[in-house]
Amino acid sequence: MRDSNILNAESKNYEGNRVAWRERLSHFTWSWFECTMSTGAIATLLSQQPYAFPGLNTIGKVVFILDLVLFVLFSILISLRFYLNRGAFRKSLYHPHESFFFGTFWVSIALIIYCMQAYAVPSCGQWLVKTLEVLFWTFAGCAMLVAIFQYHRIFDIQKLPVDEMMPAWILPVYPFLILGPLAGTLLYSQPRPSSALPILIGGIAFQGLGFCFAFIQYTLYITRLTSGLLPDEPKRPGMYVAVGPAAYTANAMIILGSQAQVILPPGFLGITTIPVGDIWKALGVAIGIFLWLLAFWFFALSTVGVLHGYKHMHFTLNHWAIIFPNAGLAISLISIGNVLYSPAIKAVGSGMTILLCIAYLWIAVLTVKAVWRGYVLWPHKDEDMEDIEGHEQ
């Protein structure tokens, strides 16, 4: 009864309109997990800093704990929405806008596993290393099922015009773009070569799927842009999602190539005349540098689009897209600096980290303000939740 009273209590927005919290909860969509994606991305970025200072690891752990708290909270809230609104879960998976953000839930899980490796393994025993190996392969299987069946459902039910293409269409396959860096991070503690070699091969394969599909989507996105159809101003922060595929793939190729140098056994692939691991590292670094500039180009293009239309922008949850793709851009730049032994490149990566942390705090404040004033979680206000027949029921 007490919970029911809370849900039936009314809240007021900036216009003085009143809506029950039960109704507001029906607008809690998958796009809220962009926040946990960004929080996890900041935690992983902090763990990769080339110039650490006392307390940095503690700060990273605090951000990781915050990410866990937000993920559990958001999972409870969206489960409550589906419980109170019959059929809402099924409809959310083929809604022409919300459905793509289902991928943010899975990316959030991948980043949690990543942070477990970065922050928990040094303090735990071998049991956690084995647990992370199991989690990696279990998550990869789940991500494959999501990528296959969700896209099938979207393609089968919805007709999506190319002139409305947004980088968010890549999100259902985004977990594979994180699996490469995740594999490379797990390799630091996995037994070699028994567990490490399969994870190395799997990381390359999964990253290939993610980037190849994203590259195909890039062509649709560029087709839209060359037609003179920039996204509406409030949705332009979502343009930054296009940074992620190239950025995270660049990081994956560098870190996996570097790990291959120490993991691949002598005579791998039957080749004994040259050290295969050295070749893999050289190729990985070259490919990583090659892709990083592509990611930076999408970053610059998105930034110009956002600045050009900022006067007509208002807050939407798309603002969180400023964080998680660009965190990948910073991480990959730091990886390049590490393999090239370049203090200047690493310093730029650290500078990007500072800017992203400031942006994170700014967007967090805007999010709290938006909820309080009814800019989000409100009928006809959610940027990713246009009201179609039956969707609110």
Domain boundaries, the chain: 18-373
For range 216-233, the mean pLDDT: 88
For range 281-303, the mean pLDDT: 96
What proportion of the chain, given as a percentage, has pLDDT over 90?
Answer: 64
Q: Which residue has the higher pLDDT, 300 or 389?
A: 300
Find, among 379, 324, 378, the residue nearest to 356 by Cα: 324
Find, among 37, 40, 52, the residue nearest to 349 by Cα: 52
Report whether 393 contacts 86 (CB < 8 A). yes
Q: How far is CA 239 from CA 206, 233, 298, in A?
A: 24, 10, 8
Q: In this structure, what token pair is assigned to residue 169?
A: 């269409």
Q: What is the pLDDT of residue 299?
A: 97
Q: In this structure, what token pair is assigned to residue 255?
A: 């870190």
Q: Which residue has the higher pLDDT, 271 or 378?
A: 271
Find, among 270, 361, 376, the residue nearest to 323 by Cα: 361
Q: In this structure, what token pair is assigned to residue 218?
A: 């890039």
Q: What is the pLDDT of residue 49?
A: 95
Q: Which residue has the higher pLDDT, 11 or 255?
A: 255
- Position of tokens 């007021």? 12
What proportion of the chain, given as a percentage, has pLDDT over 70?
Answer: 92
Q: What is the pLDDT of residue 285?
A: 96
Contact residues for 64 (Cβ-Cβ < 8 A; gap 6+): 40, 43, 112, 115, 118, 119
Helix axes 33-47, 343-373, angle to 10 degrees: 150
d(CA 84, CA 76): 12
pLDDT score of 202 more than 70: yes
Q: Residues 41-60: pLDDT tens digits? A: 999 999 999 998 899 999 99
pLDDT band of residue 69 (cuts 50, 70, 90) is very high
Report whether 22 contacts 8 (CB < 8 A). yes
For range 192-204, the mean pLDDT: 92
Q: What is the pLDDT of residue 387?
A: 46
pLDDT score of 183 more than 80: yes
pLDDT band of residue 1 (cuts 50, 70, 90) is very low
Strand partners, 18: 12
Q: What is the pLDDT of residue 11?
A: 59
d(CA 345, CA 293): 13
Q: What is the pLDDT of residue 280?
A: 94
Q: In this structure, what token pair is assigned to residue 206?
A: 């999964």
Reduced to 3 states, what is the DSSP secondary structure of residue 356? helix
Classify residue 51 by its DSSP letter: S
pLDDT score of 349 more than 50: yes
- Strand blocks (E) in the chain: 10-12, 18-20
- Position of tokens 């009143």? 18
Reduced to 3 states, what is the DSSP secondary structure of residue 65? helix
pLDDT band of residue 91 (cuts 50, 70, 90) is confident
Contact residues for 220 (Cβ-Cβ < 8 A; gap 6+): 162, 165, 169
Average pLDDT, the chain: 89
Report whether 180 contacts 210 (CB < 8 A). yes
d(CA 126, CA 99): 38
pLDDT score of 267 more than 90: no
pLDDT score of 6 more than 70: no
From the options 1.25.40.80, 1.20.120.550, 1.50.10.150, 1.20.1440.130, give the CATH code of 18-373.
1.50.10.150
Half-sphere exposure of 1 (CA within 13 A, CB side): 0
Q: Residues 97-135: pLDDT tens digits? A: 888 899 999 999 999 999 999 999 988 878 999 999 999
Q: Which residue has the higher pLDDT, 251 or 20?
A: 251
Classify residue 231 by its DSSP letter: P
Classify burial at 348, counting beta carbons within 10 Å of its beta carbon; exposed 0-12, middle 13-18, buried 19 or more. middle
